[in-house]
Amino acid sequence: MPRKAAKKPPSSAKGRSKPVKRTGRSKTGDTRKVVEAGSQARPQEPKPASQPARLVMQPPLRRTSEIIRTRARFTDPMRAANEYSNVRDLIQGQAAKHGARTFLVFEDDGREYSFLQLDEQTTRAANVMLALGATRGARVALLVNNSPEYVFAWLGAMKAGLVAVPLSTDLSTDELRQALQDCGASLLLISREFWPRAEALRGELAGLQAVAFVGDGPQGVMLESTLPSAGLADPAKLYDFTACGRQASLELKTPVPHQWDEAQIAYTGRALPLPQGAILQQRQFLTSARCLSTAVGLNATDRLMCCLPLFHVNAQVPTLFAPLALGGSVVLFSEFSVSRFWPAVERYRVTAVSAVPAMLGILTERELEGARLARRDAAAGVWPACHESPGALRQQSDAAAREDGLARGHDISSLKSIVCGAAALPRPVQLAFEKCFLVPVLEGYSLAETTGFATLNPANGTRKIGSVGRPLGDKLAVWDESRPLRPLEGDWTHKSFLRANPAVFPTADTNQRGELCIWGEGTLKEYYSRPDVNPRVFAGGWFHSGDLGHMDADGFAYVLGRRGEFIERDGDFVSPREIDEVLMRHELVETSTTIGLPTADGSRQQVTTFVILRKDSFESGRDGGRLPASEEQRTDMLTRLKAFAALHLTEKKRPNAIVLAAQLPTDATGKTRVHILKRQGTDAYQRV
């Protein structure tokens, strides 16, 4: 039978239950007493006179922008403390901890250096620079190819409290003059390949005290190999940096740098009339390395590979400072080599690589081309099918693939992830690479001004293809440009109240387009000697990147392009990246770059897309089949590309003109130099 429900105690007139009787044993006997629970209660106070009921107003619903804006208030995004506070303590501490363990392997000749040797070599390099006349805070310019000596000189400058100024190796003579004059370099460390550009500039650099060659000197040039006494270097002589280093002391007597001392000036903005030098501080390198290592899941057993030039922050933090801080190791390339990439992964059991989109595209295209030939020789049919990848063709006995350095001829199972930044990573490139090599790519948003990656896609599987991920340590917000910000005034260094405690930031709504702004410990101190620029780029206490983008409801950021690269068309703004993403999905398109070029009368801009086709796209074509051999081929390709664009783009976003090219102007990292492309126009290429 169903149990009867228990009876509820009767309610009093006042809506309260009657006092409950409890029984208990007395202290003196076994007799039981009945105690009224409410007998000893305090007398009730008289009830106040009834008041008229008040209308309770519900708070209005908060907009998404207000919620995000509240989150953007000042909090310390770098709550975890670094183990070391400056570069000298980091190198010396890791040398004491790891000793003879290998830290650096030079892929070109197989040289290996331990943590202890790194400490010794950086100390020698620091003492050489001090002997050549550099004093605390002096700028040391480096125009050197990737090598262990570059690592020793670059870290040695920071170790001694100097300011390293790594320069791009593809600077022209005029650009080199601008950079050296702007930073006021006291020393110039240079490789012999770049001496013809710098030789004529020596007389124009008033503050330059000495020039030293890293590696062999130019043919027919006598180098001074004797280490001078401190501060007595002869400006007229050229010094052998390596030979002087052998004579340098292993004791560094300069004061230990402070964590907020300036460590590096990284020049960026080559499209500007005068590039800007971002000042980065000692602590920022350590913090950025820690945040990146945590996000990617790196530890002391990982071995990273550095194929990017060392003047680039994507090589400095992920593949040098991260393994140095963790106790891992790094394989250093003098330059990126597509034929030696996968053999090095197999030989050294590399676990992670920092790359740029151009590298991923080159590796994928070469692997696909080799696999197509292998499948064509092995069996009839078209390769790859929708379910196949070169991994299905992997054969360790395939001598031809192994000799060519293809991934299918090598064991690449140690490679866990690729970290990619510095430029927009097109979805087709990322998807093709991952399908080809079965290695995940973590795209991020990296700038010289943010000491590397400000955001990154998580490594735990919650990635979003096309997004640059979530903030790592710094805060990122999208500025609602309808609410203007006042430029900073007065002292706005990292210790300033305005800089360290920014006001509530006017953040845009979810998926609303605006300028990406970053605040946190990783952002630059300032642009060197730019008093007219700094207050504007730090308006509101946040660094304004100049990139437009938006953020979704999950906190993932999306970069749409630079502010000046958007194309105005019929009252609307067209994103070049959106057009490039679509065209690169075409089976014959390898690279696409869209820019806005003025019409003949200059009244408006027209959308112009430069396309590099894959090899053998044209039968008997020029430049490996990338360019047509006849007008009929040209017309047919134009029809196919226009039809493809019409399927995926609205009429406003379709390109007015398509230009076929065998190659486009790029920098040392493979990024297309849009400002040069705009200056050249279509005259230097073949219009379709």
Q: CA quadruple 247, 163, 312, 166: dihedral positive or negative?
A: negative
Beta carbons of 474 and 545 less than 8 angstroms apart: no
- With cut-offs at 50, 70 and 90, classify the pLDDT of residue 386: very low
Q: Report which DSSP code applies to 593.
A: E
Of the listed ranges 57-66, 125-134, 288-297, 398-407, the least confidently predicted one is 57-66
CA–CA distance, 91 with 101 (Å, rounded to integer):
13
Handedness of CA 464, 468, 472, 473 (dihedral sign): negative
Backbone φ and ψ of 61, nearest 5°:
-65, 135
Closest CA to 560 of 574, 535, 577: 577
What confidence category does residue 630 fall into, taking pLDDT thresholds of 50, 70 and 90?
A: confident
Cα→Cα distances 558→424, 552, 572, 613, Å: 10, 8, 20, 27
Kindly report, residue by residue over 604-613, the tens digit of the pLDDT.
788 889 998 9
Nearest alpha-carbon partner for 334 in 491, 214, 188: 214
Q: Which range (89-93, 455-459, 490-494, 573-577) has the least confidence?
A: 490-494
Tell me, what DSSP letter sits at residue 42? Answer: P
Rounded distance between C-alpha atoms, residue 653 and residue 647, angstroms: 12
pLDDT value of residue 548: 93
- For 47, residues 6+ apart whose C-beta sits below 8 A from its C-beta are none
CA distance 295 to 683: 46
pLDDT tens track for 321-355: 999 999 999 999 999 999 999 999 999 999 999 99
Which pLDDT does position 424 carry in this prediction? 87
| DSSP code string of 254-319 | SPPPPTTSEEEEEEE-TTSSS-EEEEEEHHHHHHHHHHHHHHHT--TT-EEEE-S-TTSHHHHIII
Q: Is residue 370 within 8 Å of 406, Cβ to Cβ? A: yes
What is the bridge-based pairing of β-strands 21-25 and 276-281? unpaired
Burial class (CB in 10 A: 0-12, 13-18, 19+), 271: middle
Whole-number average pLDDT of the chain: 82
User: Which stretch, 31-40, 45-54, 209-218, has highest mean pLDDT?
Assistant: 209-218
Strands (E), 144-194: 163-166, 187-190
pLDDT of residue 488: 55
Give the range among 75-84, 231-240, 316-325, 537-546 with minimum mean pLDDT.
75-84
Average pLDDT over residues 72-80: 43
Q: Of the given ranges (188-202, 397-411, 638-652, 653-667), which has the lowest mean pLDDT?
A: 397-411
* Domain ranges (residues) in the chain: 63-78+454-520+552-559, 115-281, 564-687
DSSP H/E element including 548: strand 543-551
Determine the average pLDDT of the residues in 449-463: 90
What is the C-alpha to C-alpha distance for residues 38 and 20, in angstroms, rounded to an integer?
8
Split at pLDDT 50, 70, 90, the class of 63 is very low
- Cβ–Cβ under 8 Å, residues 255 and 126: no
Which tens digit of pLDDT belongs to each residue from 282-296? 999 999 999 999 999
239-267 pLDDT, tens digit per residue, is 999 999 999 999 998 999 999 999 999 99
Q: How far apart are CA 467 and CA 452, in angstroms?
A: 17
Q: At what angle do helices 631-648 and 576-583 cross, to 10 degrees?
A: 120
pLDDT at 59: 47
Kindly report the CATH class assigned to 564-687: alpha beta
| Per-residue H/E/C for 513-547 | CEEEEEECCCCCCCECCCCCCHHHHCHHHCEEEEE
Confidence class for position 66, pLDDT limits 50, 70, 90 = very low
Rounded Cα distance, 393 and 386, in Å: 14
Amino acid at 105: V
Here the tokens at position 249 are 């002391």
Report the pLDDT value the prediction gives residue 620, as an integer from 0 to 100.
Answer: 82
Measured between alpha carbons, how far is 663 from 672 in angstroms, rounded to an integer?
10
**Percent of the chain at pLDDT above 90?**
46
pLDDT over 70 percentage in the chain:
81
- When computed from its CA atoms, the radius of gyration of the chain, rounded to whole angstroms, is 32
Evaluate whether the domain defined by 115-281 bears CATH number 3.40.710.10: no
- What are the angstrom distances between the C-alpha of 169 and each of 146, 309, 312, 424? 10, 8, 10, 22
Query: What is the tens place of the pLDDT at every residue in 474-520?
Result: 889 999 888 877 665 544 444 443 444 445 678 888 999 999 999 88
376 pLDDT more than 60: no
Number of C-beta neighbours around residue 551 at 10 A: 26
Q: Of 116-120, 579-583, 657-661, 683-687, which range is least confident?
A: 683-687
Give the sign of the dihedral formed by CA 487, CA 491, CA 493, CA 499: negative
> What is the number of helices (H) and of strands (E) in the chain?
19, 28
Nearest to 122 by CA among 159, 71, 96: 159
